[in-house]
Structure 1
């Protein structure tokens, strides 16, 4: 089973050539052997239609409907049948966990969640946690307690799943942070990339004083799931009608698994 994960649209909407980018993303997966793709930041039903149209061989779509589009911006497309889907919302953060945070961050925190898609013999979980715009994941940072809370909700959602689980997405926490270490310790999940976690964000979209980190992960719940291959995708600019560019500000994850 080949599973992929990609945050599709961190690039500002204005001038992003969204239609071209989504068509190109779809073309990459259509030409691939990937069985299941977890997408993040599929924010509206327009985004959803663009991806579904560009990926006709992925006949099965998992998402939870909301007013504007897929809840949490989360979409899972599969070439094999989906048995059922579920969604767990992140609660509004307690005031103590949101002290000093921008008002927009506090609002966005409650719009995050985890999408659970059940396939034959395995559950694929897809998540996107709140962005840390400070680029600082130390325990003194203003985003730290909020991320702790979101990771706790995510851990409980995965723990409640009966059977093998594959969890991936844009966690927005750095691989070298205590947030990541504590989450792995508390959940017992295994990183499919092991200790090798190069940056998953294109440095060209950062300010000159910022550093790219590994913030996207693909994690496994069961020792019976073995990793045959793991690689980063969307690492280079790709051709589009308006000229070559990166298709998103994130790099993608792709893992070949034996269940």
Structure 2
């Protein structure tokens, strides 16, 4: 099994349609097999992406009028044999992101060399940027990680799997370590804490993750670091996050 994948939090606000037009053209020119996007909240943005990225005919998402559930969309150049959404349970404090219905989108892709289950997720934000055990948002994220672990563990262990997205949890967090231990997944970055959130926005660190099951090797790289030119000529960054791309190789599934 071989696959080239991308995960990217697109940032739903601030010239989103113009930036997503550039993103769609970029992935259309790329050689990614599967692209996992977060914060694709607007139906208008989703339609724009689908119209521009025409070489990705297989698109997984869950409708939740008037939004895209969880803001999660997975694009694939290869057939999708199964897709389902696992919701996180809203927990206090109340906050606007409850409206998104956050969770994890599971998509099974039939690649030329075998099947791959791709998990696209976006956990609740830690609005305090404080990941100490007593923080209320840390407790919310910990509960979501437990729910995600339970969903991951329902997939047969022999199934090749990659779990990726905006975890909103730093790579050196004990809670992420517990999640990795509970699922048997492996951090494709090997614990490297190079920031995936742009330092000019906030000093948050490596909160986007790419985890693989044993038997899969992953070569990773941060992408979309440079500014892009929007229609009209203005230069800007694609998002407040960097993207993560990975070349996956492993056993057939």
TM-score of the aligned structures, taking structure 2 as reference length: 0.90
Partner of 1:158: 152
Partner of 2:248: 257
Partner of 1:2: 4
Q: 1:109: Cα distance to partner?
A: 8.1
Partner of 1:91: 89
Partner of 1:219: 211
Partner of 1:203: 199
Task: Verify: 1:136 aligned to 2:130, yes or no.
Answer: yes
Unaligned runs of 5+ in 2: none
Partner of 1:193: 189
Partner of 1:66: 64
| DSSP-derived class of the 2:236 partner | coil
- Count of residue pairs the alignment pairs up: 241
- Cα deviations by residue, 1:131-173 (Å, 9 ceiling, x for unpaired): 0111111112121211111000100111111212111010001
| DSSP-derived class of the 1:158 partner | helix
Structure number with the higher strand fraction is 2
Match of 1:24 among 22, 25, 33: 22
Superposition misfits of 4+ residues, deviation over 2 angstroms: none
Contact 1:200 1:252 in 2 (8 A): yes
Question: Distance between the aligned counterparts of 2:224 and 2:152, measured in 1?
Answer: 28
RMSD of equivalent CA atoms:
1.5
Contact 1:137 1:179 in 2 (8 A): no
Q: 1:257: Cα distance to partner?
A: 0.7
Aligned CA distance change for structure 1 residues 6 and 110 (closer, same or farther; 3 Å)? closer
Higher mean C-alpha displacement, 182-191 vs 127-136: 182-191
Contact 1:90 1:110 in 2 (8 A): no
Q: 1:250: Cα distance to partner?
A: 0.6
Contact 2:70 2:100 in 1 (8 A): no
Contact 2:85 2:104 in 1 (8 A): yes
Question: Distance between the aligned counterparts of 1:104 and 1:252, measured in 2?
Answer: 26
Kindly report which structure 2 residues correspond to 1:36-51, keeping only aligned pairs within 5 A, or say none.
Answer: 36-51=34-49
Partner of 2:141: 147
